[in-house]
Structure 1
Amino acid sequence: MHTDNRPTRVRWTLFFIIFALVVINLIDRVSLSIAMPTIAAEFNLSPTLQGVILSCFFWAYALLQLPGGWLIDRYGPRRMITFSTFFWGIFQTLAALATGGISLLLSRVMLGAAEAPLFPAGGKLNAMWLSANERGRGAVLMDCGGPIGAALGGLIIAHLIVMLGSWRLVFAITGVATLLMSWVAWRWLRDDPAQHPEVNTAERALIAAGAQPAEVAAGPVTRGFGIAKPMLMAMLTGRAAWAMMFFGLLTWGPSYLAHARGFDLIAIGNATFIIFLCGAVGSLSGGFLLDALVKRGMKHGRALKGLLAISGTVALVAFLSLPYLRSPIAAVAVLCIAAFFLMWGSLYWSLPALLTTKEKMGLAGGAMNMAGSVGGIVVPLLVGIMLQLGVHYDSIPLFFAGCSAVYVLGTALIGIQQRAEVTTCITVR
């Protein structure tokens, strides 16, 4: 263990690994969305069945969030992240062997089950490894892997399918890469800074100095999640609405670009890359801005809710304007703006550490991620049904505008009150 008086920076290496896992996670998820026009033609899938297959990932993913959160609190994030990464690599590889819509659906359900613990475990590591004035950056460093993975996935998957001439081979390649990352997770991650051989005393002291947040949820606290019921419902509603926009873009965005804007596969990949890259930049900027505002003395809750309100309002305006834009380039530009501000919603991952106790963070993070997963289940199905009923692709952004309004409202109802700073030491095991 290092004994230098200067704090080591192992905590940021750890979060870079979490970031890399999330990037690969989203590449694996978006691979189906990018390949769907090709797969739909090969398997003769209707729009409704496409929506079911795009949605089915979230069936097991949502159902296992609460059990996954409980397992994280019981067995630790390191074990659960390693387990998750290994098995989602297995099922991503098996998807390459699909022979029709049903076998593809089953592989996606199992993929969702395997991926369930990743984000709640990352949220718990945020609380265990970062001081209060670093958690905004930690939350967005983890979550911005989502749009970066979607961006890279859109670009890489589209070009690989064209270059290799086989979506199956591309799925197998991404699955094997995921399996390799499971070893990296086990090798480098630790549940407690005191357990990591590279962390010195100064870094442990820095983390411990701000281990407890200075704000807590207002109102009586529920036993189950450690958060007052009205605050819990508001958080879940806001997160679900946010997820419907993000996963709506992720699942139906490529088809929207193809059918409403006339893009071919390469153009879809390029546009998806640009849109979600803007989202990644937005995610990072939101985290740094939140930490800067808190450092300047603004109350954490006020700064967080203000940034989330801006996020939802800009997304609302962007989606409302899309049906009136004739230029495909202008439409992509507006989607880039929407993605940039929408990804300030990554700051939601700072809420479990802010609103509940260390012992309940895995469960609270699982509940929040379950709400997002429900949004991920609902949105592909609803869009598929709307298209099947004759709604034109040009009108779909209006549905996402409604989701933006719910996102703003849910976030506004999360009440956070200031209390005295409480400092605790990290347990040495």
Structure 2
Amino acid sequence: MTAPTSTEASTEKRSRTRFAILASNFMILMLNYADRAVIGVAAPLIITEFGFSNAAFGWILAAFAFTYSPFGFIGGWLADKFGPAKVMGWAAIAWSVFTALTAAGVGFVSLLIIRLLFGAGEGPQATVTAKVMHNWFPKKELGTAVGIANAATPLGGAIGTPVVVAIMDATQGNWRLPFIIFGVLGVLFAIGWFVVVRDTPEQHPWVSKGELAHIRQDAAPAAEDDADADANAEPWWRYLTLPAVWTTAVAFFGYAWILWTFLNWFPTYLVNERGIDLSDLAVTGAIPWVGGCIGLALGGAFTDWLVRRTGKSVAPRRWTVVICLAATGLLFGSIGTVSGTGSAVALMTVVVFLLYFTGAQYWLIVGEAVPGSRYGSVSGAMQMFATTASIIAPMITGYLVDSSLGWTGTFTVAAVVALTGALLLAFFGRVRTPDTRQAGQPAS
């Protein structure tokens, strides 16, 4: 299927298949984060059953990230080579199987191995989502699409937290059953994904000529464009030296540090430090996730509006990251000093809102700096670097909490990491070439 002319498109009713693709991606990412949230909610029970120290359990949490991080790059590379639809579907099956197998853990070593395999399955999802959205949406809708797709991740945490608590309450503290239930759901979701999603609009039988013309109106990346660009584009690794790419990666690292500290340790913080019981955790643990869901959806739409208003495709997104990530770091660093539990949860909700307000922007900044045919690999490399924070942060958090620094020191360290990324992006992160996809060359 080739892109129709504007005359052909004007005579045919425009379909809305791209929104079915967006909805499918939303659902698969919602389950993805619900799966991740299970271990955070179940952590106090797992630690008690096996007698783990916080430091030992930090290694189990970090094991996920040892494979999640490199498979972010591997998933992007595979999406460039074989197509994002296949990569996401098989990744969903893999992570769902290992979600269920977490219930078979009998100690430190077995849980460590299962979490390593689970991380490999989940690694491709963020990079592949960015590739799918770039293939399916015109530039003027891209921020909204990426924002909405990724808004599913905190929503998955918000829904998953009370569901896991309810299951454990109903089964007298059985932490294994939620893993099995979510694993089965994941396989069913993957089957639905394969039915609905294709790599590009040109391959989908539901797409009309009118919709295809709308999607391709501003030369957003497509499989055909990527094939033409391959002959002229530099090797993917050359683009990693661009200031816009590496500073975005460092800022994304700060984002990931706060995210993974929150995801893995905030429920434990509420239980151990604030005295929240398991029933109350269903509400207090879910509230910040709601703020994150709203932040992601609004962040993408807001920067799309700024792009249309200013006519600049990068600067509004870059400064949104700088301002919101810096504010996130400052507020996150102060959580340990807040006296009341309600105040701590409210502050954390604002933190997660601001953090996720930037969530779509990292992918979009890199998308403006590199050709479409190299986007999966370069964005995957960015994610691989950024998500090394998911290895380091949970592990270091365990040691910091057990040390004299405690929770206050833990939050302060995370704040410093986030502020460093925001400042580097502010000073060095300018994209000098507005549209490198068409030029097929690195920005100067």
Q: Which amino acid letter does the alignment assign opposite residue 194 of structure 1? A: E
Q: Which amino acid letter does the alignment assign opposite residue 173 of structure 1? A: I
Q: Which amino acid letter does the alignment assign opposite residue 302 of structure 1? A: A
| CA shift in 2, pair 1:222/1:51, >3 Å | farther
1:126 and 2:133 aligned: yes
1:64 offset after TM fit, Å? Answer: 2.3
* Greater displacement, 282-291 / 231-240: 231-240
1:356 and 2:370 aligned: yes
Tell me what 2:228 maps to. none
Distance in 2 between residues matched to 1:94 and 1:180, nearest whole Å? 16
1:420 offset after TM fit, Å? Answer: 7.0
Tell me what 2:244 maps to. 231
Matching of residues 181-260 of structure 1 within 5 Å: 181-212=189-220, 223-225=235-237, 227=239, 229=241, 230-260=243-273
1:296 offset after TM fit, Å? Answer: 1.5
Deviations 1:114-135 (A, max 9, x none): 1122211111112111111111
Matching of residues 86-105 of structure 1 within 5 Å: 86-105=93-112
Find the partner of 1:42 among 29, 38, 49: 49
* Greater displacement, 304-313 / 387-396: 387-396
1:318 offset after TM fit, Å? Answer: 1.3
Matching of residues 130-149 of structure 1 within 5 Å: 130-149=137-156
Find the partner of 2:71 among 57, 64, 68: 64
Distance in 2 between residues matched to 1:371 and 1:423, nearest whole Å? 27
1:212 offset after TM fit, Å? Answer: 3.9
Tell me what 1:172 maps to. 180
1:156 offset after TM fit, Å? Answer: 1.3
For the 8 Å contact 2:369–2:433, the answer to whether it is kept is no
Tell me what 2:283 maps to. 270
Deviations 1:247-267 (A, max 9, x none): 110011111112222211222
Aligned residues: 417
Tell me what 1:318 maps to. 331
Unaligned runs of 5+ in 2: 2-8, 222-232, 440-444
When normalised by structure 2's length, the TM-score is 0.89
For the 8 Å contact 1:55–1:381, the answer to whether it is kept is yes
For the 8 Å contact 1:137–1:288, the answer to whether it is kept is yes
* Greater displacement, 402-411 / 371-380: 402-411
For the 8 Å contact 1:225–1:356, the answer to whether it is kept is no
Tell me what 2:229 maps to. none
Distance in 1 between residues matched to 2:199 and 2:274, nearest whole Å? 47
Q: Which amino acid letter does the alignment assign opposite residue 68 of structure 1? A: G
Distance in 2 between residues matched to 1:356 and 1:296, nearest whole Å? 23
Distance in 1 between residues matched to 2:141 and 2:331, nearest whole Å? 31
Tell me what 2:226 maps to. none
Q: Which amino acid letter does the alignment assign opposite residue 80 of structure 1? A: V
1:292 and 2:305 aligned: yes
Alignment RMSD (CA, Å): 2.1
Distance in 2 between residues matched to 1:423 and 1:204, nearest whole Å? 19
* Greater displacement, 19-28 / 313-322: 313-322
Distance in 2 between residues matched to 1:419 and 1:345, nearest whole Å? 20
Deviations 1:345-377 (A, max 9, x none): 212122332221111111012112212320111
Tell me what 1:216 maps to. none
Distance in 2 between residues matched to 1:117 and 1:238, nearest whole Å? 20
Distance in 2 between residues matched to 1:272 and 1:414, nearest whole Å? 35
Q: Which amino acid letter does the alignment assign opposite residue 224 of structure 1? A: W
For the 8 Å contact 1:89–1:176, the answer to whether it is kept is yes
1:305 offset after TM fit, Å? Answer: 1.3
Deviations 1:276-331 (A, max 9, x none): 11011011111110111111134121110121122113212312332332111111
Find the partner of 1:19 among 26, 30, 33: 26
For the 8 Å contact 1:299–1:418, the answer to whether it is kept is no
The alignment partner of 1:45 has SS state of: coil
1:226 offset after TM fit, Å? Answer: 5.5
Q: Which amino acid letter does the alignment assign opposite residue 186 of structure 2? A: T
For the 8 Å contact 1:209–1:423, the answer to whether it is kept is no
Distance in 2 between residues matched to 1:10 and 1:138, nearest whole Å? 13
For the 8 Å contact 1:226–1:356, the answer to whether it is kept is no
| CA shift in 2, pair 1:419/1:251, >3 Å | closer
For the 8 Å contact 1:212–1:423, the answer to whether it is kept is no
| CA shift in 2, pair 1:74/1:169, >3 Å | same
Tell me what 1:370 maps to. 384
1:393 offset after TM fit, Å? Answer: 2.0
Q: Which amino acid letter does the alignment assign opposite residue 432 of structure 2? A: Q
For the 8 Å contact 2:244–2:365, the answer to whether it is kept is no
Distance in 1 between residues matched to 2:346 and 2:80, nearest whole Å? 42
1:107 and 2:119 aligned: no
Distance in 2 between residues matched to 1:321 and 1:382, nearest whole Å? 19
Distance in 2 between residues matched to 1:67 and 1:322, nearest whole Å? 36
Distance in 2 between residues matched to 1:15 and 1:161, nearest whole Å? 32
Distance in 2 between residues matched to 1:395 and 1:250, nearest whole Å? 18
Distance in 2 between residues matched to 1:344 and 1:407, nearest whole Å? 16
State the identity as a percent: 26
Unaligned runs of 5+ in 1: 214-220, 425-429
Q: Which amino acid letter does the alignment assign opposite residue 264 of structure 2? A: T
1:396 and 2:404 aligned: no
| CA shift in 2, pair 1:267/1:407, >3 Å | farther
1:417 and 2:429 aligned: no
1:423 offset after TM fit, Å? Answer: 7.7
